[in-house]
Amino acid sequence: MTKKKPLVVVTRKLPEAIETRMMELFDARLNIDDAIMTKQELIDAVKEADVLVPTVTDKIDAAVLAHAGPNLRLIANFGTGVDHVDLQTARSRGITVTNTPDVLTEDTADMTMALILSVSRRLAEGERLIRKGDWAGWGPTLMLGHRIWGKRLGIVGMGRIGRALARRAKGFGLSVHYHNRRRVHSDIEEELDATYWESLDQMLAHVDVVSVNCPHTPATYHLLSARRLKLMQPHAILVNTARGEIVDEPALTRMLSDGEIAGAGLDVFEHEPAVNPKLLELQNAVLLPHMGSATIEGRVDMGEKVLINIKTFVDGHTPPDRVIEGLL
């Protein structure tokens, strides 16, 4: 007797090669139109799915999971961050949750470095000047930015992405400083020539560039609060490629507008896809549509991890990228 394939509901469109393999292995219900699913659609999905494959745009909270059917035993997240999934409720309902770590590290670090350069050297402003037809030719004081060589970079969160950024920063002549929940091993500090700051407040007051690279958790919500942002030097810039909720966005917007912080490069926003209209008006803010991990290679690698996690789980084994295991 042929074993019935598990019903796998995928909430967004994935790379074609991944969707093809998904359909070969499972009874896959795909989102061909790539429309963000409504709460009711998510509820309908968890009622009948054996496996749910959500992304960061799907809020899988307690209200959604309350409707989960008895067959739902795995949430195989397409992405590293799982702050959009209520892990406690999932665990209590016996639902295992997996993610896709490691594959986005280099891509996100690349984008972080690009934003540091873009804000410091006013690249986006210069590009807009050309497109508007307002460039009248080279001038000795035109579009003056700041060199990054010799400056201090403060990394908030020295995980995989933070360390990958530190390696890049060294090549650009930045001195690396970091704050982390736990100090990293001395071998890593030596490799990266990184200085540890136990006090985030003190680090913010002494660096020229602040990069947010920690996960969003209840403990890191508004970690960079209005009070902490005020500790930054007026010439300093802030870059965030982690999660928008980590930074007090209204406070940051006010300080950018008032010149209390020199600039910001943001790939994430507190209420995305909504963006604070006041941010849109600022010339000293480079704004990107959450594309830090958006490479073809990265998306395919993510999809392959999802496939492996599902296949391993369905075959009765512990998936390699388990975040939590259901208790039931």
Catalytic residue among 41, 191, 260, 272: 272
Distances (CA, A) of 215 to 212, 219, 228: 9, 10, 18
Catalytic residue among 21, 152, 168, 243: 243
Sequential DSSP letters for 201-258:
HHHHHH-SEEEE-SPP-TTTTTSB-HHHHTTS-TT-EEEE-S-GGGB-HHHHHHHHHH
Catalytic residue among 183, 222, 290, 322: 290
Distances (CA, A) of 25 to 8, 29, 271, 314: 10, 12, 36, 11
The residues near 216 (Cβ < 8 Å, ≥ 6 apart) are 81, 83, 242, 243, 245, 246
Neighbouring C-beta atoms of residue 231, cutoff 10 Å: 17
**Is there a catalytic annotation at residue 290?**
yes
**Is there a catalytic annotation at residue 21?**
no
Q: Which residues are catalytic?
A: 243, 272, 290
